[in-house]
Amino acid sequence: MALVGADGTGKTTLAEQIADRLGEKSPVRVIATATQARVPFGAFGPLVEVSEVGKPAALIRSALDSLLAQTDSTLIIVDDAQLLDPLSATLVYQLARQPQVRLVVTVRAGGALPSAVAALWEDGLLARLDVGPLDEAETQFVLAALDEPREDAYRRSGGNPLELRMLTQTHSVATSLDALIDAYLAELPAPVRTVLAYLGVREPLSRSDLVALAGDDGVNQAELAGAATLFGSMVYAGHPLFLERGTKAADPADTRRLRTEIVNQLATVPSRDLADRLGRAVLALDSDAPESVDDVVAAAQQALRLGDLNVSERLAASALQRGERFDARLALSYALAWQGRGREADSVLADVDADALSEAEVMAWALPRAANQFWMLSEPERATAFLQNIRKRISTTADRLTLDALSATFAMNAGNLARAVEIAAEVLAAPEAPDMAVAWGASASALCSARMGRFDQVGAFVERALGAEHPGLLRFTVGLAQTTTLLMAGRPEAAHDTAGEFTDFAELAQPGRSIGEVLMAQVLIAQGDPAGAARLLAPAAATLDRTGYSWGPLSLMLLATAQAQQGDIAGSAKTLSRAESRHGTKSALFAPELAVARAWQLTAMGDVDGAVLAAREAARGAERTGQLGTAVWAWEQAERLGDTHAAAALAKLAEAGVQAVR
C-alpha cells in the first residue's frame, strides 16, 4: 500500500498501525531524508551490499538480494519516499515486485516524485490510499480532543508532535501548517534547536556522533520533545518539515560551520557503508574540511560506476579545481558525456596534454574523446581520423584491438555494415582482445547481423557482448539487436518482454531511460499500438535530442511514424522535419527508418503514390547497404501502404537469401 497525503495527516502513524495490525513487531524501516537523496542508495545505507557496479540491472538485483537476505521480516515500511534517491527508488520498485514482500510506502502529496515511486501505483504494484483532510465527522472527533488531557491526545497522535499540535489547535482551514511548525520550533529549548540544526545538514546522524556534536543533554531533550527520533543507532528529525522550515531560515555561514564540524566528527569513525562513504564526500565539498584529492577522485569514480552522474560530476569537478588530475578529468568527461553534454566533455578532454601521457593514459583519454566526437559533436570524419592517428602511437595488441572495435561501431553507425562486421570479426577472433574491445565488437556484430538478416548469428554475439564488462550505453545496442531479431521472427510478445527489461526501472538515469523507451516504442509500433509508442517517444525524443547520440534521430523517426499512423498530420510533419535535420553520418544506419517515417507521413496526407515511393526508397536503400533484414521490414511496410510490387520484391529477397546460404 502507498499512503499518499499532505504533511501532518498521520501517514507514518497509519503505517505503524498497519504493521501492528499485521502482527509485525519489527518491520524493516527505511526513512528517506533530503540529505540522503544526494547519494546512491542513501536511504538504504547498511541494509544493502552492492556488487556488479556499472551494470544497472545487475546492480539493483545485487542490492535486492542482499536486502532480502538480511531481514527476517516480510514487511518493509518506507517513509517519505518522495525523498528517495534514484537508486533507492528503483530498489523500492523492485521490492514491490517481489511476491514474498509486503510493502508500505508513505509519500508526500503534491510535489515532484521520483518516477519509480509514482510507478508503484501507476503500474498497479501498490494500492494507493489518499490520506486527505478530515471530513466533518473526523473534525468533530478532533475538536472533542480539546477536552482531553494532553497526554491522551499525545497518545492518540502516535507521539508525533506535529500531529499533536494539529489535534490540539482549533481546527480551521485558515490554520497554516507552516505557522504551526514555526511556533513549535520557536518554543523548543536552544539545545534542541541545535540538534535540529545539525540534522538539517546531515540526516540521519548516529546518536554517538550527534552527542559529540550537540551534547548528550541536547539530544535527550530533543528526543523527549519529539523533535528527534531514534531508530536503531541513528537519529532522525521528528518530522521532515522541522528541518525544511529550519534550513530555510538558516544563515549560510552557520550552515558551513555546522557542515565542517560534522565532517570533522565523521572523520573520527570509519564509514559504515558505501552510501555513507559517498555522503561524506559530498558533504565535505562545501565545508572547510575538504577530503584529500585522492579520496575525492576515488569517490567520483565510485559514483560513476554506480550510475550517479551528477554526484560524479560534482566530485570530479571539485578535485580538478584543487589541481590538475588526469583521473579526475577523465571521470568528469565520462560523467558529462553520459549525460549527453558532449561539448562540455570535449572541452574537458581537450585540455589534456596528450604528449605527456603514458600509452595507457593515451588509451584512457582517446577512447572517450573519439566517441564524443563521433556522436555528441556530430563529427564522424574527425573522430575516425583521430582514432587512426592515435593507433600509430599504440604498440600493444590489446589496445589496438580496442581502437579497432570502436572503429567498427563507427562504421556500423555510418551505415557501412560490411566493414563493421569485418573489423569486429578480427577483434573477436583475437585472444588478446580485452573486455572493452569484445563489448564493442560483439554489440556491433549483433546489431549488424540483425539488420543484415543473419538472425541465426545474433544470439551468440549478444551473449558475448553481455558477458564482457563495459560502461556506458552499449547494452542498448545489444537490446536493439534482440528486439529487431524477435520482431522479424514473428515473436512480438518476446520482443515486448525484452524491451521491458530496459524500461522496468532497471535503467536509472537519463539518457539510458529514454533509450530503453525507444526500444519499447519500436515494439509497440510493430504491435499496432502507435498511440502507446508516441506516449513513450515524445518525452524520450525530447531528452535524446539534447544529447547527440544516434538514438536521438531514431527516436524522432519512430515518433513521426507513430504520429502519422494516428493521423496526426501536423505533428508528424514537424517531427519528421526535426528528424531529417538531425540525421547524418552518425545515424546513417537508420536511413531506412527515416524513409519509412516519410512514407507514413505522406500516407497521413493522402499521398498514396508518394508514400509507396518513399517506402520503396527505404527498402532499396537497405538492400544497397547490405541491410537485408531491414529491407524485408521496409518492403513489408511498402506492402501495407499499397505497393503491389512489394510481394515480388520480398520473394526475390528470399531467394537471394536462400542462395547465399547455399
Query: Using one digit for the tens of pLDDT, what is the confidence trace for 182-211?
Result: 888 889 999 999 999 999 999 999 999 999
| Phi, psi values for residue 396, rounded to 5° | -85, 140
271 within 8 A of 281, measured Cβ to Cβ: no
Reading across the β-sheet that carries 234-237, which strands appear in turn? 205-206, 234-237, 228-231
| Phi-psi map region of 479: left, alpha, beta (phi>0 left; psi -120 to 50 alpha) | alpha
Output the pLDDT for position 188. Answer: 92
What is residue 202's DSSP assignment? S
123 by DSSP, 3-state: which? coil
- pLDDT bin (cut points 50, 70, 90) of residue 168 is very low
Cα(608)–Cα(441) distance, rounded to whole angstroms? 41
CATH of 2-133, one of 3.40.50.970, 3.40.640.10, 3.40.50.300, 3.40.50.2300: 3.40.50.300
Output the pLDDT for position 173. Answer: 38
Pick the more confident residue, 53 or 274. Answer: 274
Using CA atoms, how far residue 197 sits from 82, 107, 190, 282, in Å, is 22, 24, 10, 18
Cα(325)–Cα(411) distance, rounded to whole angstroms? 33
- pLDDT bin (cut points 50, 70, 90) of residue 230 is very high
Output the pLDDT for position 468. Answer: 85
**Which is nearest to 161 in space by CA: 138, 177, 139?**
177
Using CA atoms, how far residue 398 sits from 358, 412, 436, 473, in Å, is 15, 21, 10, 22
235 by DSSP, 3-state: which? strand
Pick the more confident residue, 284 or 151. Answer: 284
Using CA atoms, how far residue 297 sits from 292, 306, 324, 661, in Å, is 9, 14, 12, 53
C-alpha cell at 4: 499518499
Q: Please state, as a whole number, how many other Cβ atoms lie within 10 Å of the Cβ of residue 133.
A: 11
Query: Using one digit for the tens of pLDDT, what is the confidence trace for 62-113?
Result: 888 888 887 777 899 999 999 999 889 989 998 999 988 999 999 999 888 9
Segment 393-401 mean pLDDT: 94
Characterize 210-234 residue by residue with b for buried, 16 or more Cβ atoms within 10 angstroms of its Cβ, and e for exposed: bbbbbeeebbebbbebbbbbeeeeb
Q: What secondary structure does DSSP assign to 289-351, as a single string?
A: SPPPHHHHHHHHHHHHHTT-HHHHHHHHHHHHHTS--HHHHHHHHHHHHHTT-HHHHHHHHHT
Output the pLDDT for position 463. Answer: 93
Cα(26)–Cα(518) distance, rounded to whole angstroms? 43
Count the alpha carbons within 13 Å of 17 in the hemisphere toward its beta carbon. Answer: 11
- pLDDT bin (cut points 50, 70, 90) of residue 138 is low
Please report, for the chain, the start and end positions of each structural domain, with discontinuous segments joined by +.
2-133, 185-278, 607-662
Residue in the block written with cell 558505501: 274
Query: Using one digit for the tens of pLDDT, what is the confidence trace for 315-330?
Result: 999 999 999 999 999 9
Query: Using one digit for the tens of pLDDT, what is the confidence trace for 423-460?
Result: 999 999 999 999 999 999 999 999 999 999 999 999 99
Output the pLDDT for position 432. Answer: 94
Asked if the model's pLDDT at residue 249 lies above 90, the reply is: no
Output the pLDDT for position 22. Answer: 87
Characterize 510-529 residue by residue with b for buried, 16 or more Cβ atoms within 10 angstroms of its Cβ, and e for exposed: bbbbbbbbbbbbbbbbbeeb
The pLDDT > 70 percentage for the chain reads 90
Output the pLDDT for position 155. Answer: 45
Quick one: three-class SS letters along 15-79? HHHHHHHCCCCCCEEEECCCCHHHCCCCCCHHHCCCCCCCCHHHHHHHHHHHHHHHCCCCEEEEE
Sign of the C-alpha dihedral computed for residues 544, 547, 549 and 554 taken in this order: positive
Output the pLDDT for position 659. Answer: 55
C-alpha cell at 648: 515480388
Cα(94)–Cα(90) distance, rounded to whole angstroms? 6
Output the pLDDT for position 50. Answer: 75
Characterize 306-341 residue by residue with b for buried, 16 or more Cβ atoms within 10 angstroms of its Cβ, and e for exposed: bbbbebbbbbbbbbbeeeebbbbbbbbbbbbbbbbb
**CB burial class (10 A; 0-12, 13-18, 19+) of residue 550?**
buried
- pLDDT bin (cut points 50, 70, 90) of residue 137 is low
Cα(560)–Cα(574) distance, rounded to whole angstroms? 8
Cα(568)–Cα(560) distance, rounded to whole angstroms? 9
Side chain identity, residue 194: T
Using CA atoms, how far residue 157 sits from 127, 133, 152, in Å, is 24, 15, 9
Output the pLDDT for position 272. Answer: 86
Query: Using one digit for the tens of pLDDT, what is the confidence trace for 571-583?
Result: 999 999 999 999 9
Cα(331)–Cα(315) distance, rounded to whole angstroms? 9
Query: Using one digit for the tens of pLDDT, what is the confidence trace for 620-647?
Result: 999 999 999 999 999 999 999 999 999 9
Query: Using one digit for the tens of pLDDT, what is the confidence trace for 263-302?
Result: 999 999 999 888 899 999 999 999 999 999 999 999 999 9
Characterize 374-384 residue by residue with b for buried, 16 or more Cβ atoms within 10 angstroms of its Cβ, and e for exposed: bbbbbbbeebb
Cα(478)–Cα(461) distance, rounded to whole angstroms? 9
Segment 234-239 mean pLDDT: 92
- pLDDT bin (cut points 50, 70, 90) of residue 513 is confident
Which pTM value belongs to this model?
0.79
**CB burial class (10 A; 0-12, 13-18, 19+) of residue 659?**
exposed
Output the pLDDT for position 547. Answer: 78
Most confident by average pLDDT, 132-141, 154-163, 246-255, 553-562: 553-562
CB contact set of 532 (below 8 Å; sequence gap of 6+)? 521, 524
